[in-house]
Amino acid sequence: MILYKLGQWAFKKLIVKKILTGEGIISDVIPLFKKSLVLSSPSAWNLFQNLYDIKPNKILLNAPLQLPEIHSLAKTIDHDSIIGIGGGRVMDCSKALAAVSKKKCYLIPSILSTTAWLNPAASLKDGNRVTHAKGKVTSIFLDTELLAQSPQHLNLGGMADILCGYNALGDWIAAHLQEGERLPKNAKETVLSFCERIRKELPDNIPIIPSNVPFYINAFKEALGLCWGFLSGRPVEGSEHFIYYALEETYDQPMNHGAIIALNTLVCLYLRGEDSLINPNKLKKLYKTLKIPFSLKEQGIPEELYRNTLLNMYTFSSERGLPYSLWNQENLNENTLSEILRWIES
Ligand SMILES: [Zn+2]
């Protein structure tokens, strides 16, 4: 309990303190645009410009995700700071670029589709491998107007990135039972009741309008607070994320993180059968209500590629040295896989 409180305290002091939110919050950042390099994406920058008429000194609309590219970009920066406006990719690139170039970093998330804006580490790529690099964050500006304007299915996909806790917790419990991994006493009920509350309150918070945005912000803050409290990424990362990491190496198209995490979570929960901490049908129904495009068809991912990725998960997770998960236990066969995929599409 003392460790939990200490972790939560550190989270507030190191991260939550940097979050600035409220109406008109962007006016505080405007003077910084003159001296900053702005990183964004065409869609995020478009949304931002619809709300604010700002001319940045220099803007890059194709934030790199490759670590070597970020290192060479860092050498060319002669600005005082970096401003990142966008989703997960832009957040990760901005944080890493700021850390490498030792500049200040201001984040303006345009969508809450992943935990990237709240996570001090940057998830990047080195070749086709996913790597977690050091990041730096000075302040995080959360503009409710901007966030409410973003595509709903991306923001709601972010909720799947939190509700994956139902499955990730299953991995944690199994790791504790099989390998003696540390599982604090109250972790199971705390994570589970958090997921239950978010799942039940979600339908009352759609569509996403500015007054609903704080619900989404708080859900992310609480989820990351659990990780800091338990000194573990286990509450938000498990076998469902491991499939995503494997896909990142085999599928070269842009992926909607939240929607694929939704799909992977459903696959893993179905595979757990009676051990699942929630009836997978309940979660599937919610994702349909929220219109999260979780099916392979909606994602445009070839079924063959997804099947092969899943069949290879045991090898992938041992080769990459991933933490103990469902993939250390389940020997997935073709028939079970077909049954799961039929259920997903039904
Ligand atoms: Zn995620």
| CA-closest candidate to residue 257, choices 107, 59, 119 | 119
pLDDT score at 217 = 94
pLDDT score at 154 = 86
Which DSSP string corresponds to 210-238? GGGHHHHHHHHHHHHHHHHHTTSSGGG-S
What does pLDDT average to over the chain? Answer: 93
Which DSSP string corresponds to 27-85? GGTGGGGGGEEEEE-HHHHHHHHHH-----SEEESS---BHHHHHHHHHT--SSEEEEE
pLDDT score at 130 = 83
Distance 60 CA to ligand 1 centre (A): 25
pLDDT per position as a tens digit, 213-229: 999 999 999 999 999 99
pLDDT score at 330 = 66
Distance 25 CA to ligand 1 centre (A): 27
Distance 238 CA to ligand 1 centre (A): 9
- Burial readout 95-119 (b: 16 or more C-beta within 10 A, e: otherwise): bbbbbbbebbbbbbbbbbbbbbbbb
Distance 236 CA to ligand 1 centre (A): 7
pLDDT per position as a tens digit, 292-315: 999 999 999 999 999 999 999 999
Distance 104 CA to ligand 1 centre (A): 25
Distance 67 CA to ligand 1 centre (A): 19
Distance 91 CA to ligand 1 centre (A): 13
Distance 53 CA to ligand 1 centre (A): 32
Residue position matching structure tokens 């079970």: 336
Using 50, 70 and 90 to split pLDDT, how confident is the model at 182?
very high
**Across 246-250, 304-308, 337-341, least confident range:** 246-250
| CA-closest candidate to residue 247, choices 237, 257, 236 | 257
Q: How many CB atoms lie within 10 A of CB 253?
A: 9
With a cut of 90, say whether residue 255 has pLDDT above it: no
pLDDT score at 9 = 86
Distance 227 CA to ligand 1 centre (A): 13
Distance 115 CA to ligand 1 centre (A): 6
338 versus 249: the higher-pLDDT residue is: 338
pLDDT per position as a tens digit, 18-75: 999 977 889 888 999 999 999 999 999 999 999 999 989 899 999 898 999 999 999 9
Distance 258 CA to ligand 1 centre (A): 7
Distance 61 CA to ligand 1 centre (A): 23
pLDDT score at 245 = 92
Using 50, 70 and 90 to split pLDDT, how confident is the model at 1?
low
Distance 127 CA to ligand 1 centre (A): 20
Query: What's 102's DSSP letter?
Result: T
Distance 27 CA to ligand 1 centre (A): 30
pLDDT per position as a tens digit, 101-127: 999 999 999 999 888 899 888 999 898
Distance 135 CA to ligand 1 centre (A): 17
- The Cα 131–Cα 66 span in angstroms is 9
Contact between 269 and 283 (Cβ < 8 Å): yes
Distance 312 CA to ligand 1 centre (A): 21
| CB within 8 Å of 101: residues ≥ 6 apart | 74, 75, 77, 82
pLDDT score at 224 = 93
pLDDT score at 153 = 86
- The residue ranges of DSSP E strands in the chain, in sequence order, are 19-21, 36-40, 58-60, 81-86, 104-109, 122-126, 129-133, 139-142
Distance 158 CA to ligand 1 centre (A): 8
Using 50, 70 and 90 to split pLDDT, how confident is the model at 14?
confident
Distance 261 CA to ligand 1 centre (A): 7
Which domains, and CATH codes, for the chain?
A: 7-149 (3.40.50.1970), 152-345 (1.20.1090.10)
With a cut of 90, say whether residue 11 has pLDDT above it: no
Distance 237 CA to ligand 1 centre (A): 7
Burial of 343 (0-12, 13-18, 19+ CB in 10 A): middle
| CA-closest candidate to residue 101, choices 64, 139, 71 | 71
